[in-house]
Amino acid sequence: MGMMDIGEVAERSGVPPSTLRYYEEVGLIRSISRHGLRRQFDADVLLTLSLIELGKTAGFSLTEIAGMFGKDGRPDIPRDQLRAKADDLQRQMLDLRVLRDALRHVAECPAPSHLECPTFRKLLKAATRRRIPRSRSRIGHQGGQRPGK
Amino acid sequence: MGMMDIGEVAERSGVPPSTLRYYEEVGLIRSISRHGLRRQFDADVLLTLSLIELGKTAGFSLTEIAGMFGKDGRPDIPRDQLRAKADDLQRQMLDLRVLRDALRHVAECPAPSHLECPTFRKLLKAATRRRIPRSRSRIGHQGGQRPGK
DNA sequence: GCTTGACCTCAAGTTGGCTTGAAGTCGTAC
DNA sequence: GTACGACTTCAAGCCAACTTGAGGTCAAGC
């Protein structure tokens, strides 16, 4: 039960085989052997995949994710940089909160154009004040976000 | 002081002119007139731009952002969809929290491979349990996130 | 032993979000 | 009145992150 073939991984993780092959190609995951031609993965790959999904949700590029945890869960990045990343995430959570509040506001407020609504402007301005010159790349294509969006 | 030309907008917002033109092309912002050939923007564009940045940080595509607020701050989306988006954000904040904790853990934990560390696995599994079949696109993307840096 | 179907490889295509480059247009300062 | 430099347009290019397609392989079931 330690080994699963690519189809099973795909089904269990929801990540399509083409993507799994791609992830392997770029070194994010590793297949442990072959059964005929078929890739066999260790069950741990599922955990790695959730880590990747998590990182993508947070707006990191695949390269950044690879760097954070390394392909075997071994980080390539010095501790203080990791802490800095964690702090970035903290800030990003605040941004999300603002956006969430903004959306909730838009959903309730009857003003025709929200840019004219004082409450809305206040929400945004508070966020803007706090904002830092973005260090992180484009998000997606991040990239590419999304990537990836 | 209501009007700024594109250069000033670029400088104040940190968004390059090429991007501003692109945003206008896709309908995210609007120039109010021209001075010669030069686009002139209403000062409100700065607020719209922070809204866009906020949305990108949250991993939305430009299209989604446009839909949420409309190009004049008029949302094109029914209220309950907006609320649903807000709830998505809420969930995303939880994801960020997990990732943040994971990073902090990686920064401190001496285990050589974190996938073997029980604490780490627990963190991830908790997140995995909670996860929902992703409705959202890429991120990042870019890729951003795209990501394309 | 042959068919089936899920896998394989490799190259090319796609999408989103921009950026770059060439060639041209203006308003302002001199 | 001309030189400058910041703008303009338009087409093409670029990167990330995949997906698609053509053509091939292989093990398991019949």
pLDDT tens, residue by residue, A74-99:
777 788 888 988 998 999 999 999 99
Distances (CA, A) of A47 to A62, B120, B132: 16, 10, 15
CB contact under 8 A, A139 and B56: yes
Chain B positions touching A138 (Cβ under 8 A) are: 56, 140-142, 144-149
Whole-number Å distance between alpha carbons of B27 and B19: 12
* pLDDT tens for each residue of A1-46: 689 999 999 999 999 999 999 999 999 999 999 999 999 999 999 9
Give the CA-trace dihedral at A78, A83, A85, A90, to 10 degrees: 180
Contact present, A71 and A30 (Cβ < 8 Å): yes
* Better-predicted residue by pLDDT, B149 or B11: B11
What length is written for chain A?
Answer: 149
pLDDT level of residue A147 (50, 70, 90 thresholds): very low
Rg of chain A's alpha carbons, rounded to an integer? 20
Q: Determine the pLDDT at residue B59.
A: 86
Q: What is the mean pLDDT of chain B?
A: 83
pLDDT at B141 over 70: no
Chain A 38-67 contacts with nucleic strand D (CB below 7 A): 56, 61-63
Rounded to two decimals, the pTM is: 0.85
Contact present, B122 and A98 (Cβ < 8 Å): no
* pLDDT tens for each residue of B85-94: 899 899 999 9
